[in-house]
Amino acid sequence: MRYTPLSAATYREHRARFRSGMEKGGLALFHSNDIMPTSADGTMPFKQATDIMYLTGIDQEESVLLLFPDTMDPKDREILFVRETNEHIAIWEGHKFSKEEATELSGIANVQWTSAYEATLKRLVPQCESLYLNSNEHLRQGNEVETRTERMNKSVRAQFPLHNVKRSAPILHRIRSVKTAEEVAQMRKAVAITGKAFERVCSFLKPGVMEYAVEAEITHEFLRNGSRGHAYTPIIASGYSACVLHYIDNDKPCKDGDVILMDFGCEYGGYASDLTRCLPVSGKFTKRQREVYNAVLNVKNEATKLLRPGTMLAEYHKEVGKLMESELIGLGLLDKTDVKNQNPDAPLYKKYFMHGTSHFIGLDVHDVGLWNEPIREGMCFTVEPGIYIREESLGIRLENDIVVTKDGQDDLFKDIPVEAEAVEELMNSKKLVA
């Protein structure tokens, strides 16, 4: 295993949080992801379903978690099913969890082979009052591929059509959004590796370097520090490409006089980091570039202060919009009178800042959370305002990850340079050979 997992005590705490949201008599099921095919006999790298990862730490295919808190036999209250290995699997695929290893990692005493799942289900479901089935209810999800969870949900509903079905997702969205101390510590490890990659790029970047070469430097730093790679597809966008919000081609040269926008973050132990920095390819910002850069930095700094316990995210984003309006007026991009007379449902700042400022972050880079409830201590968010001026081929976005504390915020990227002068100094201190 490349990474140090969380402790069994933390996974026990996560399951206790979930059980506290269940109604009496409920039985909950959670499934791992499939190994997804490519073509011929190829497959994509395995990525565990984040809900079962959150509840067990088991980063392996064909795993199932069953929670039945109110069953009579204590042994049946938590059951973990893992794939049984054999000599053939060991030779061709390598190590799989033994029952003892799965217990040590997850803190679940009753570990069975996945082959025992169906018989156990038929034995226990008749005893329960309702079935808690999981599903992907993320606001942005639009999956056209049937997941293992969806396939197994269909099977359970066909076998037990008269049982009442309840949703696990609302419970998970509430409990996963508030991080435990160990989760924050794991995110700090991801942040630290991402910071190393940023410093490496600052020493590497110069006119003529290809965007994909910058991406390669980042990937190198991730892998050599124990990360499995990027938490999401990186954006390495120079010049006009920085005005394309989800630009991922990363195939153009970095030209003298341009600014390169880099949105990247490593994954460590399943947890994501998410950083955006902008660098002048030449090593020094022009006067206009610095003005826009500092405007974005001002919005980021002030927006961070607004993320406090009790704040509603909808109101937060409205306040950030006002901050951005002021900066855009100062840059000469918006007219003060036009802003005063604008349609409040179509604010003018959206021409230059068309995305949200913050999203939950954790096991998923766009993590789950309840947007209709107030911010709570322990929640983790990105803060990422941007200004995109297509007619100037200039896009600036700056992004840090923060933990909401009792009295304010803990900026996980606070030690990573972000002020224009500090970035220029870092770029010109020592150069790697491209």
Q: Which residues are catalytic, by number?
A: 41, 246, 263, 274, 355, 359, 366, 384, 388, 397, 399
Smallest CA-to-CA distance from 127 within 64, 66, 51 is with: 66
Residues 6+ apart with CB under 8 A from 164: 129, 130, 131
Token digits of residue 213: 């070469």
Smallest CA-to-CA distance from 257 within 285, 230, 221 is with: 285
* 26-31 vs 64-67, strand pairing mode: antiparallel
* 164-167 vs 64-67, strand pairing mode: unpaired
For 194-228, b where at least 16 C-beta lie within 10 A, e where not — what string? bbbbbbbbbbbbeeebbbebbbebbbebbeebebb
Rounded Cα gap, residues 337 and 344, in angstroms: 14
Rounded Cα gap, residues 239 and 59, in angstroms: 40
Q: Where are the beta strands (DSSP E) in 134-195?
A: 164-167
